[in-house]
Amino acid sequence: MPALRVAAFALFQENDFTKHDVHLAMIFLGIIAISLVIAAVAALVAGIFAFKLAKRADSFANMVEQRTAPILDRTNELLRDLGPKIHTVSTNVEQISYTVRAKVDELGATVSQLNETVMDINGRTRVQVSRVDGIVSDALYATAEISETVQNGIRGPIKQVAGIVAGFKAGIETLIARSPFGRR
C-alpha cells in the first residue's frame, strides 16, 4: 500500500510536464472518442445493411417457400401413394428372384443329366459303330472270298466244257471235211 500512496501522490502533483501530458491525454481521448463515434456509425450502417439484407433474404425465402411448397406437398403425396406400391414391387421382385434361382438350379440339374445321357449315348453309339464296321468288313471279306471261289469254281469247269466243245467242234469239222458232203 505504501507504493500506491507514492503513485497517487506523483499523479496529483502538477507541474509543466504533467500539464503537457494532460493536454496530450485530452487530445488522444478526443481522437479515441471520434474513432468510437465513427465505429458506432459504421456499425449502425452495417446493421442497416444487414437488416436490409435479412429482409431481402426473408422475402426470397418466402418466395422460394411459396413456389416449392406445392411441389413438396405433391411429392409427399406421391411418396405416400407409391410407398406401398414400391414395397409390393420389391416383394414381388424378391419372390421372382427366388423362383428364378430355383428354376435355374433345376435347369442346371437337368442339363447335367442331359449331358450325361448324351455322353452315354455317344459312347454306346461308338461301340455299335465299331461293331457294325467289323461286321461290314467281315461281310465284304467273305463276299470277296465267295466271289473268288465261285469264279474259280466256275472258271475251271467252263474251261473244261469249252475245251470239250472245242474238241467236239474240231472233230465235227474234221468229219465234215472228210465226208463227201464237205468237199464242195
- What pLDDT is stored for residue 19 in this prediction? 64
In a domain, 61, yes or no: yes
Based on the structure, what is the number of domains in the chain?
1
In a domain, 86, yes or no: yes
Whether the per-residue pLDDT at 9 is higher than 80: the answer is: no
> Which pairs from 155-164 meet CB under 8 Å and 24+ separation?
none
**What gap in Å lies between CA 173 and CA 165, rounded to an integer?**
12
Q: What are phi and psi of 139, to 5 degrees?
A: -65, -45
Report pTM: 0.34
In a domain, 73, yes or no: yes
In a domain, 163, yes or no: yes
**What gap in Å lies between CA 37 and CA 31, rounded to an integer?**
10
- What pLDDT is stored for residue 34 in this prediction? 96
Whether the per-residue pLDDT at 57 is higher than 70: the answer is: yes
In a domain, 28, yes or no: yes
Whether the per-residue pLDDT at 60 is higher than 70: the answer is: yes
Query: 148 CB contacts (<8 Å, ≥6 apart)?
Result: none
Grid coordinates of 159: 474251261
Report the sign of the C-alpha dihedral through residues 160, 161, 165, 168, in that order.
positive
Per residue in 113-156, pLDDT tens? 888 888 888 888 888 888 888 888 888 888 888 888 887 778 77
Q: What are phi and psi of 15, to 5 degrees?
A: -150, 180
In a domain, 184, yes or no: no
pLDDT category at 32 given cuts 50, 70, 90 is very high
Query: 183 CB contacts (<8 Å, ≥6 apart)?
Result: 177
Cell 466271289: give the residue.
147
Domain that holds residue 64: 2-178
